[in-house]
């Protein structure tokens, strides 16, 4: 009887330790690290709702997600920047939306954002996408060639200043025949 009780205590004890350890040491995934970078990058942004990291988590599971267009920038093995392009519909055409672009505050103004945008554009072009739309600072995105989307009669599905809703052609004339209201992935909640 004593042996039986001893074995029972041992088994239950081991089980309790296993459950506790699993709970305590849940593995941090790349997705968690990316979301942390996004959250920290937007922390001081006045025009942010500070929920971009939650949106990223949803977008990573969405139909609009393209694995090759979810890109990280690393410094000494640590994720310091992130960019995501997801599919959007404009009329019959599938374009991309750039959102979000995020660089950790300490690593900003070092060219990391620029390299992520340029890398993303390169991959998107290879995948055959004709253009990208973005909501953001015109002074920043103009550096890459973004222009007000109204130039092509591409409209945002929300109220926004003309200069803040932009687009870029990834191939010359890529947006010539594209016009309409951008339909974002439902995860954007628009
Ligand atoms: C915006 C952001 C992604 C830029 O990343 P970054 O790595 O600091 O940018 P880079 O160093 O690559 O800058 C590229 C160029 O843009 C300029 N720039 C950087 N931030 C800028 C800003 N907010 N507005 C205008 N220009 C900006 C740089 O001076 C640089 O100019 P140069 O090529 O003439 O030297 C980064 O500041 C960030 O994560 N901000 C918080 C989140 C955010 O606002 N995301 C964008 C949503 S629209």
pLDDT tens for 45-89 read 988 999 999 999 999 999 999 999 999 999 999 999 999 999 999
Domain that holds residue 57: 23-188
Q: What CATH number should be reported for the domain holding residue 87?
A: 3.40.630.30
For 101-117, the pLDDT digits (tens) are 999 999 999 999 999 99
Specify if 7 maps to a domain: no
Specify if 110 maps to a domain: yes
For 157-167, the pLDDT digits (tens) are 999 999 999 99
Specify if 11 maps to a domain: no
Per the structure, the count of domains in the chain is 1
Q: Are 131 and 167 in contact (CB under 8 A)?
A: yes
Which residue has a Cα nearest atom 17 of ligand 1? 140
Specify if 76 maps to a domain: yes
Q: Is the peptide bond before 100 cis (omega within 30 degrees of 0)?
A: yes
Centroid of ligand 1 to alpha carbon of 29 (angstroms): 27
Q: Model's pTM, two decimal places?
A: 0.88
pLDDT at 19: 63
Between strands 180-183 and 154-155, the pairing is parallel
For 150-189, the pLDDT digits (tens) are 999 999 999 999 999 999 999 999 999 999 999 999 999 9
Helices (H), the chain: 2-24, 30-42, 52-59, 112-126, 138-141
Specify if 161 maps to a domain: yes
Pick the closest to residue 38 from 71, 4, 5, 69 (CA basis).
Answer: 71
Specify if 18 maps to a domain: no
Specify if 13 maps to a domain: no
Q: Are 156 and 150 in contact (CB under 8 A)?
A: no
Centroid of ligand 1 to alpha carbon of 16 (angstroms): 49
Specify if 174 maps to a domain: yes
């Amino acid at each position: 009887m004593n042996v039986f009780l001893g074995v029972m205590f041992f088994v239950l004890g081991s089980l309790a330790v296993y459950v506790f350890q699993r709970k305590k040491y849940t593995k941090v995934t790349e997705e968690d690290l990316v979301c942390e970078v996004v959250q920290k990058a937007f922390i001081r942004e006045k025009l942010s709702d500070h929920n971009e990291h939650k949106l990223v988590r949803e977008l990573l599971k969405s139909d609009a997600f393209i694995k090759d267009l979810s890109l990280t920038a690393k410094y000494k093995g640590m994720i310091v920047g992130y960019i995501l392009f997801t599919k959007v519909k404009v009329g019959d055409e599938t374009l991309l939306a750039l959102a979000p672009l995020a660089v950790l505050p300490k690593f900003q103004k070092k060219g990391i954002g620029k390299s992520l945008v340029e890398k993303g554009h390169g991959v998107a072009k290879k995948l055959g996408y004709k253009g990208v739309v973005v909501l953001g600072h015109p002074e920043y995105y103009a550096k890459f060639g973004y222009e007000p989307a109204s130039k092509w009669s591409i409209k945002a599905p929300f109220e926004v200043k003309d200069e803040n809703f932009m687009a870029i052609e990834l191939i010359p004339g890529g947006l010539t025949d594209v016009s309409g209201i951008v339909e974002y992935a439902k995860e954007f909640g628009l």
